[in-house]
């Protein structure tokens, strides 16, 4: 096992499914698989685990008990629950108790599980599941401080927030921070990945159902809106919602009521909604894939989260935090290594940074990580392709303005000056791009 691999603990009593889960995850992770919750609890005590994937119903100790055991640890790992449709309400309750996510069985595809584990492991590596980013010492760049100031202001109000930014920039961390600073902080924070919701279960998933409303509906069930009552509902990957679910969500946001499947009466709901996406919703509106009226309901207060390459002040604190989290806190970086970390464009954001740092720490035999161990070239290739050359300041580090302006110029060149395509390429809104074009005097393109 490579020391830079995350350790995933799987607890699943179905042998065939357990084997399938191992097959899906063991390519990129070190996997420990057990058949019951009691053995899983013992493993949690005996050795470090990065992420737990657990069935809800198991002999010995169920997934809820395992969740409690995980949360009792000094550094609790995120817990992803697997549930059949009939146990969705238990999983919703578990989300209120602190579960990271839950997936319904059968899984729609291996990427659903891999994606959930990737988000959980990155979240755990950041060490910020319940921490305040402002106090954690890793968000120190002026762009991040400005973002946190906006978070503090909007948190006091109940406006719907739309978080925009590339995959891996920390949208859920920002959403949790809005909740933590809001008057709703004592309520539940329920996080849902819209891209992972099975389409035939979406209405029940959101709103619940009444007993007897369809085959298999043996009792009343609540949905995630009820689970988040009085608190915050975070709808990640909102751009993946199908048109029927978009219409249902719009109705809830407009009327602040919903109706369980099989019922004839509306129920009031008091929930603050925060949505997030890495997609350009304005482009999807033009293509007819996203409702314009829903977009404006969600974007009462849009927040653009800059990619890591545009927040150079956060790179070194994050890199050091990854060393500490992985048990390499005694190591440091040479000045040349720090310069390379700052100059790299980080198309994979924090996840990529974590992988580079952990690999370098494994290869380092002394107490200082040098530039050769990082394996980064001075001229790196971002997502859009092409070589990026940055002018360095007197400290040998690019400024935020250097990185951001050059990224915009490269994207404009790659798209032939098409602003909508440029915004899509950069993962920002068209309005945000237009503001930056004016700020950097690039409006003549």
CATH at 427: 1.10.8.60
Based on the fold, state whether residues 71 and 141 are members of the same structural domain. no
Based on the fold, state whether residues 144 and 278 are members of the same structural domain. yes
* Domain presence at residue 379: yes
Tokens of 377: 């070239």
Based on the fold, state whether residues 166 and 282 are members of the same structural domain. yes
Based on the fold, state whether residues 141 and 213 are members of the same structural domain. yes
* Domain presence at residue 1: no
Tell which residue, 126, 319, 54, 97, has the closest CA to residue 190.
97
pTM comes to: 0.56
Cα separation of 75 and 63, whole Å?
18
CATH number at residue 297: 3.40.50.300
pLDDT number for residue 386: 36
- What are the distances in angstroms from CA 242 to CA 93, 103, 172, 346? 25, 18, 21, 31
Q: How many domains does the chain have?
A: 3
* Domain presence at residue 318: yes
pLDDT number for residue 435: 64
The verdict on whether omega for the bond into residue 106 sits within 30 degrees of 0, i.e. cis, is yes
Based on the fold, state whether residues 215 and 237 are members of the same structural domain. yes
236: β partners: 193
Based on the fold, state whether residues 138 and 215 are members of the same structural domain. yes
* Domain presence at residue 253: yes
Cα separation of 61 and 56, whole Å?
9
pLDDT number for residue 107: 80
**Angle formed by the axes of helices 419-426 and 400-414, to 10°?**
130
* Domain presence at residue 444: no
Based on the fold, state whether residues 202 and 254 are members of the same structural domain. yes
Tokens of 407: 């990224």
* Domain presence at residue 365: yes
Cα separation of 329 and 350, whole Å?
18
The alpha-carbon radius of gyration of the chain (Å, integer) is 22
Based on the fold, state whether residues 97 and 62 are members of the same structural domain. yes
Q: Domain of residue 341: give its range.
A: 311-439
Q: What backbone phi and psi angles, to 5 degrees, belong to 344?
A: -70, 140
262-295 residue pLDDT tens: 878 889 999 999 999 999 999 999 999 999 999 9
pLDDT number for residue 297: 94
CATH number at residue 86: 3.40.50.2300
Of 80, 110, 126, the residue that ends a domain is 126
Based on the fold, state whether residues 44 and 161 are members of the same structural domain. no
pLDDT number for residue 333: 93
Cα separation of 185 and 272, whole Å?
11
Tell me the CA end-to-end span of the chain in Å, nearest whole number: 51
pLDDT number for residue 380: 44
* Domain presence at residue 231: yes
Based on the fold, state whether residues 263 and 322 are members of the same structural domain. no
* Domain presence at residue 445: no
Based on the fold, state whether residues 271 and 420 are members of the same structural domain. no
Based on the fold, state whether residues 95 and 137 are members of the same structural domain. no
Cα separation of 196 and 201, whole Å?
11
Of 254, 269, 304, the residue that ends a domain is 304
Per-10-residue mean pLDDT for the chain, 445 residues long? 72 92 88 92 87 88 84 79 64 64 78 81 52 50 87 92 89 88 88 78 79 65 84 92 90 91 86 94 92 94 92 89 76 90 88 84 87 71 38 42 70 78 70 71 65
Evaluate whether 311 touches 169 at the Cβ level (below 8 Å): no
Of 126, 156, 183, the residue that ends a domain is 126
């Amino acid at each position: 096992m490579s020391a830079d691999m995350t350790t995933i603990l799987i607890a699943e009593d179905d042998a065939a499914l357990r084997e399938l889960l191992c097959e899906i995850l063991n390519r990129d992770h070190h996997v420990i698989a057990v058949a019951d919750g009691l053995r899983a609890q013992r493993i949690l005590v005996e050795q470090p685990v990065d992420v737990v994937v657990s069935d809800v119903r198991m002999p010995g100790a169920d997934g809820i008990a395992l969740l409690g055991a995980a949360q009792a640890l000094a550094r609790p790992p995120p817990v992803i629950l697997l549930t059949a449709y009939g146990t969705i309400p238990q999983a919703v309750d578990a989300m209120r108790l602190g579960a990271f996510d839950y997936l319904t069985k059968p899984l729609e595809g291996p990427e659903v599980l891999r994606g959930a584990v990737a988000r959980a492991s990155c979240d755990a590596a950041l060490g910020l599941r319940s921490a305040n980013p402002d106090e954690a010492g890793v968000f120190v760049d002026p762009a991040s401080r400005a973002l946190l100031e906006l978070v503090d202001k909007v948190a006091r109000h109940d406006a719907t927030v739309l978080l925009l930014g590339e995959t891996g920039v920390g949208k859920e961390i920002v959403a949790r921070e809005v909740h933590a600073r809001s008057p709703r902080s004592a309520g539940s924070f329920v996080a849902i990945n819209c891209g992972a919701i099975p389409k035939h279960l979406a209405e029940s998933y959101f709103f619940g159902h009444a007993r007897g409303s369809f085959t298999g509906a043996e009792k009343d069930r609540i949905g995630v809106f009820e689970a988040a009552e009085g608190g915050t509902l975070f709808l990640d990957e909102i751009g993946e919602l199908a048109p029927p679910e978009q219409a249902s969500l719009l109705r809830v946001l407009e009327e602040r009521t919903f109706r369980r499947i099989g019922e004839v009466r509306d129920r009031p709901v008091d929930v603050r909604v925060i949505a997030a996406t890495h997609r350009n919703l304005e482009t999807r509106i033009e293509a007819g894939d996203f409702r314009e009226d829903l977009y404006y309901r969600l974007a009462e207060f849009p927040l653009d989260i800059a990619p890591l390459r545009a927040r150079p002040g956060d790179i070194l604190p994050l890199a050091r935090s990854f060393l500490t989290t992985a048990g390499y806190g005694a190591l440091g970086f040479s000045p040349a290594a720090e310069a390379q970390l700052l100059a790299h464009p980080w198309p994979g954001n924090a996840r990529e940074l974590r992988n580079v740092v952990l690999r370098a720490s494994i290869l380092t035999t002394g107490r200082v990580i040098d530039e050769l161990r990082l394996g980064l070239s001075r001229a790196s290739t971002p997502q859009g392709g092409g070589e990026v050359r940055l002018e360095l300041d007197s400290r040998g580090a690019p400024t935020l303005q250097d990185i951001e302006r050059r990224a915009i110029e490269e994207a404009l060149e790659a798209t032939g000056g098409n602003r909508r395509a440029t915004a899509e390429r950069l993962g920002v809104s068209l309005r945000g791009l237009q503001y930056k074009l004016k700020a950097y005097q690039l409006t003549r393109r």
